[in-house]
Structure 1
Amino acid sequence: MKSTVEHLSPTRVRINVEVPFDELKPNFDRAYRKLAKQVRIPGFRPGKAPARVLENRLGRGVVLDEVVNEAIPAKYMEAVNADEIRTLGRPDIEVTKIEDGDHLAFTVEVDVRPEITIPAFGELTVSVDDVEVTDAEVDERLDTLRARFGTLTGADRPAQDGDFVSIDLSGTVDGEEVPDAATSGLSYQVGSGELIDGIDEAIIGSAAGETKTFTSKLVAGEFAGRDAEISVTVQSVKVRELPEADDEFAQMASEFDTIAELRDNLREQVGLTKRMQQGVQARDKVLDALLETTEVPLPETVVDAEIEMRAHDAVHAFDHDDAKFNEFLSSQGRTREEFDAEVRTEAEKAVKTQLVLDSVADAENVSVNDQELTERIIYQAQRFGVSPEEYVNRAQQSGQLGAIFADVRRGKALASIVRQAKVTDASGNEVDFDALFGPATPPAPEEAEAPAAAPEPEAAEAK
């Protein structure tokens, strides 16, 4: 086989491939066996008709089509590997010549990863928020803990913000019942914002047995984007009583003997959460700084595919009805043109991020071990509420295992960049990522009894 590569642009190539028929003999053998099983020829058992009889019965063209359809994908990958081409997206293949008995020729146009000049990571400078823990934040964390041990008691008064109510709901659009909006005996905390817009205002001030109606725009289902008349009936009102924040509560709710010790522990927890948030902020800002200083020609077909996927996901909740989706956008004060422009901007950033981090991963020789891949699979499975085995099966069926591997590798590449960049807090102090995420290189066994497996900042997801 012979192949040549033409560079059409920094992100696209044309591969010209010529395959002698001698190399196609295994393909011809498989084609004859496959066709022999598909046709019944008098005098021959299924699958036993010889090649000459098959060609006389079906025609040489049918055989050649079968051979070419099987051979081209394999020969294309052989050419890609031989020329070390880093392809992106789906190839456009055109058969240019079939010289029966002599050779097969075809061309492939495909997007490729462009050559990218990566800036020095030490020159990337960003500032992140200070880590400050206030007494109010500790009080809020303590109140959340107290709420877990609280009790609900009936309140003989109209509902107020923060109360727990049992409600019945129903809704209509232009007089037509909305099945998805009907429910009874629903428990809801007033002010939580977990239901539809306008419901809190309707419930507040309503006593048990009272019914209120209000108008709200539906965001999903058959009537998504349309105004609905919602009826809410309050069945009961309850208030949550919290235990006193004292030593007795500390002993009941934690391993600490005094409320002071418990508050100190909660302060540490809030501080750790804020430090983790600081790390995420650093990751995002370093990535933005890297993208701003890196020139990357974007493969248009890859960007278009990303746009199509994002637009598809957006209208999925509206049963892929563009009219309903456009109505929803209008209710949000946005136009479809504005949405399309935002999607293109996001898609271009996502593709650029992937290309840059892949180049960094190559330059830094970033690898992914089985444990890291397993941890990501478990994390993703938990996000989607399925078992790791089911998640892996789905990923295999959809061909996404490679994407999972690539995401982990990009995350490690970005973590390496963040560690090398200059990151300071608002007070001018340099952020210690070893203290936050653990050392980049775990100590040897003889240096530490149990090296901690620390989480790394992850790459921004493109989907």
Structure 2
Amino acid sequence: MKISVRNLEPTKVKLTITVDPEEFNPYLDAARKQIGKQVNIPGFRKGHVPGPIIDQRIGFAAVAGEAVNDAVPELYSKALEEKQIHPMAQPEFDVQEVPQSAKDETKLKFVATVEKRPDIELPELEGMTLEVAKPEVSDEDVAKRLESLRQRFGTLVGVDRPAAKGDFANIDLTAEIDGKQVESQEGISYELGSGNMLDGLDEALDGLSAGEETSFNGKLEAGEHEGQEAVVKVKVNSVKAEELPELNDDFAQDASEFDTLDELKADIRKQIERDGEARQATEARDVFLARLKEGLDIPVPKGVKDEMVQEQLKNVTGDPSKATDEQKDEAEKTVVKDLTDQIVLDTLASKLDVQVSQSDVFNFLASIAQQYGMDPNAFINAIIKNGQLGSAVQEVGRSKGLLAGMRAVSFTSEGQPLDLSAFLGDDEAAEEAVENESVEAASAAAAVADELAAKNGDEAPATDAE
């Protein structure tokens, strides 16, 4: 097999692949066998029809077409591996030459155009030391956490006064458009100042007492008339204020296992410190990635970027064509960052020769299924059936590469060594988990699972994989 590579862009290549007859012949033979199992030819049992008879009765063109369909993807994958090209999208194939008969010496020739991961040079990790800011715990942080706990033990009591910010009003709402009532709700509990209902509601309620009502103009936020201007009438049925318990030892005993308020405050401070350590690990990750990208000009594949931007805009607006310039700019910034991070992490995983095992991938998928309350086996089968196993392998590889890379460098905070082992684990534990399994093992297991599911007639719902 002869492979020529032409770089169209830093992130796009064209591979021209020419296949020698002896390498294409096995695909022709396999195609003849497959066709022979499906046709009835007098004098021969199904599956036992000689190749020349298949060529004669069915036609060599049909045989070659079946062979090309199988050969092109496989030979393309071999070419990628040989030339160390890492695709980031599906290729476009153009089959240019195919032998016209069994004796034709014409070589199979096809072109594959694909967007690829750009070649970038990451800095050496050995000897790298990165500074991470130390999280501070202030008395104000403790007070805020304590106040949040205090509010959980608050009670609502009726008050005979106008409603004010922070009060809870029980209200009835009606909405009219052109004098016709289109919406009506009764007995709604609403916290003044929360701003989580209609624009203008907070201002309308401020200063109203139980039994009073008013009206204002506003846009409806939901329902059949969402976005339309309406006259909203609001009536206050009651006003209640939140009554909070006094911060003392009695409160500490009711709200926790501690006997005194000082003990409760000390425990809250420890909790905030632990949270700060987790945030520090996240910041260490960001600092590490920023250092890897420092000084690099990382191009992203245009086609992949455009497709991802459209998906982002669909999530924001539903219809990308209606997105504002600001939304488009924000979506593009987000996508470019995601893609550059992916490129850096994939390159890092290759640099560190990260191995992804069957158990790595399936544990990753099982954890996702658990997060969404789904059956892990059904979810994994859905991923396999929808052809998304490769994406899962990539995600696991990036995660393992990131952890391995962070374990290979040193972190400090205020000049002192920073121990992140609680968040990063260690190389020995990771190696024991992998047990020298490979990506091929994951793919093989996936193929077996897919075959079993097909034999049993099981069809995992596509929605499980989304």
- Cα distance, 1:357 vs structure 2: 0.8
1:370-381 map, 5 Å? 376-377=364-365, 380-381=368-369
| 1:434 aligned to which of 415, 420, 434 | 420
Aligned to 1:26: 30
Which consecutive unaligned segments of at least 5 residues does structure 2 have?
431-465
* Code of the aligned partner of 2:278: M
Map 1:144-155 to 2 at 5 A: 144-155=148-159
Q: Which TM-score applies when normalising by structure 1? A: 0.73
Identity, in percent, stands at 34
| CA distance in structure 1 between the aligned counterparts of 2:223 and 2:114, rounded to whole angstroms | 40
Contact 2:89/2:115, CA 8 A, preserved across alignment: yes
Q: Which of residues 159, 163, 172 is equivalent to 2:163?
A: 159
Gapped regions of structure 1 (runs ≥ 5): 327-335, 445-462
The Cα of 1:264 is off from its aligned counterpart by 0.5
Aligned to 1:240: 242
Contact kept? 1:276, 1:436, Cα under 8 Å: no
Q: CA deviation at 1:371?
A: 7.1
TM-score (norm 2): 0.73
State the SS of the aligned residue for 1:110.
strand
Write the distance in 1 (CA, Å) between the matches of 2:179 and 2:377: 47
Q: What SS class does the counterpart of residue 259 from structure 2 fall into? A: coil
Structure 1 residues 251, 91: closer, same or farther in 2, change over 3 A? same
Distance 1:443 1:96 in 2: 51
Matched, 1:281 2:283: yes
Aligned to 1:138: 142
Q: Aligned partners of 1:385, 1:174: CA distance in 2, in Å?
A: 46
Q: Is 1:91 aligned with 2:94?
A: no
Alignment-derived partner of residue 204 in structure 1: 206
1:105 aligns with 2:93: no
Q: Distance in 1 between matches of 2:5 and 2:429?
A: 48
d(CA) in 2 for partners of 1:152, 1:356: 53
Query: 2:25 is matched by which residue type in structure 1?
Result: D
Find the counterpart in structure 2 of residue 307 from structure 1. 309
Amino acid at match of 2:275: T
How far apart are residue 360 of structure 1 and its match? Answer: 0.9
CA deviation vs aligned residue, 1:158-204 (integer Å, no higher than 9, x gap): 3332233444455567778777xx65444443333444544333333
Instruction: Work out whether residues 173 and 229 of structure 1, in 8 Å CA contact, stay in contact via their aligned partners in 2.
Output: yes
Aligned counterparts, 1:325-344, within 5 A? 325-326=322-323, 336-344=324-332
Contact 1:119 1:294 in 2 (8 A): no
CA offset digits 1:217-271 (Å, max 9, x no partner): 5677776666565554444433332333332332332222222111110111122
Aligned positions of 1:177-326 closer than 5 A: 183-216=185-218, 230-316=232-318, 320=319, 322=321, 325-326=322-323
1:211, distance to aligned residue in structure 2 (A): 4.2
Against the structure 1 CA distance between its residues 260 and 388, is the aligned structure 2 distance closer, same or farther, given a 3 Å change threshold? farther
Shift of 1:97: 1.3
Which residue pairs with 1:448 in the alignment?
A: none
Q: State yes or no: 1:118 paired with 2:122.
A: yes
Q: CA deviation at 1:355?
A: 0.9
Number of aligned pairs? 420
Q: Distance in 2 between matches of 1:277 and 1:198?
A: 37
Aligned partner of 1:300: which letter? K
* Contact 1:202/1:214 (<8 A) preserved: yes
The residue type paired with residue 294 of structure 1 is L
- Tell me which amino acid in the other structure corresponds to 1:348: V
Residues in 2 aligned to 1:262 and 1:116: alpha-carbon distance in whole angstroms = 52
Aligned counterpart, 1:329: none
Q: Is the 8 A contact 1:97 1:105 kept in 2?
A: yes
**How far does residue 25 in structure 1 lie from its aligned partner after superposition?**
1.6
Indicate the residue corresponding to 1:402 in structure 2. Answer: 390
**Cα RMSD (Å):** 4.2
Change (3 A) 1:283 1:434: closer
Residues 141-150 or 219-228, more deviating = 219-228
Change (3 A) 1:52 1:257: same
Partner of 1:6: 5
User: What's the counterpart of residue 353 of structure 1?
Assistant: 341
CA distance in 1: counterparts of 2:279 and 2:70, whole angstroms: 52
- Worse-superposed segment, 214-223 or 149-158: 214-223
Change (3 A) 1:80 1:418: closer
Match of 2:444 in 1: none
- Whether the aligned pair in 1 keeps the contact of 2:34 and 2:47 (CA below 8 Å) is no
- Go from structure 1 to structure 2 and tell me whether the alpha carbon gap of 1:295 and 1:254 turns closer, same or farther (over 3 Å shift): same
1:65-84 matches, within 5 Å, as 65-84=65-84
Distance 1:379 1:210 in 2: 53
1:422–1:430: 8 Å Cα contact kept in structure 2? no
Structure 1's 242 and 89: CA in aligned 2 closer, same or farther, altered over 3 A? Answer: same
Matched-pair contact (CA < 8 Å) for 1:98–1:105: yes
Matches of 1:167 and 1:106, distance apart in 2: 71
Q: Secondary structure at the match of 1:161?
A: coil
